[in-house]
Amino acid sequence: MAKKSERIQDHKTSSVEESNTNIMQLCLSNHTITLTQKVIAEFIGTYFVVFAGCGVIAVNKIYGSVTFPGICITWGLIVMVMCYSVGHISGGHFNPAVTITWAIFRRIPIKEAPLYILAQLSGSILASGTLSLMFEITSETHFGTVPVGSNAQSLVIEIITSFLLLFVVSAIATDERVVNNLTGVAVGMTITLNVFIAGPVSGASMNPARSIGAALVVHVYKGLWIYIVGPIVGAIGGAVAYDFLRSIEKPHSELPLRNIVVV
Same domain (yes/no): 211, 110: yes
Indicate which CATH number applies to the domain containing 46.
1.20.1080.10
Instruction: Please tell me whether the overall predicted TM-score, pTM, comes out greater than 0.85 for this model.
Output: no
pLDDT of residue 180: 66
Mean pLDDT of 176-187: 79
What per-residue confidence (pLDDT) applies to 16? Answer: 41
pLDDT at position 141 is 84
Length of the chain: 263
What does the pLDDT look like over 40-77, one tens digit per residue? 999 999 999 999 999 999 999 999 889 999 999 999 99
d(CA 258, CA 238): 17
User: Mean pLDDT over residues 230-234, rounded?
Assistant: 97
Q: What angle do helix axes 208-218 and 35-63 make, rounded to 10 degrees? A: 60
Shared domain for 11 and 108, answered yes or no, is no
Q: How many angstroms separate the first and last alpha carbons of the chain?
A: 63
User: How high is the pLDDT of residue 256?
Assistant: 55
DSSP percent split of the chain into helix, strand, coil, nearest 5: 75, 0, 25
Nearest CA to 158 out of 142, 145, 143, 173 is that of: 145
Structural domains in the chain (count)? 2
Write the burial class of residue 104 (CB in 10 Å: 0-12 exposed, 13-18 middle, 19+ buried): middle
| Rounded mean pLDDT, 144-160 | 95
> In this structure, are 17 and 91 located in the same domain?
no
Same domain, 240 and 160: yes
Domain identity same for 170 and 132? yes
In a domain, 194, yes or no: yes
Same domain, 105 and 154: yes
Contacts of 154 (CB under 8 A, 6+ apart): 147, 148, 201, 202, 203, 223, 226, 230
> Can you give the pLDDT at residue 26?
34
Does one domain contain both 122 and 12? no
List of residues 6+ apart from 32 with CB closer than 8 A: 26
- Percent of the chain residues past pLDDT 90, beyond the cut: 68
User: In which domain, by residue range, is 16 found?
Assistant: 1-30
In a domain, 261, yes or no: no
Q: Are residues 78 and 190 in the same domain?
A: yes
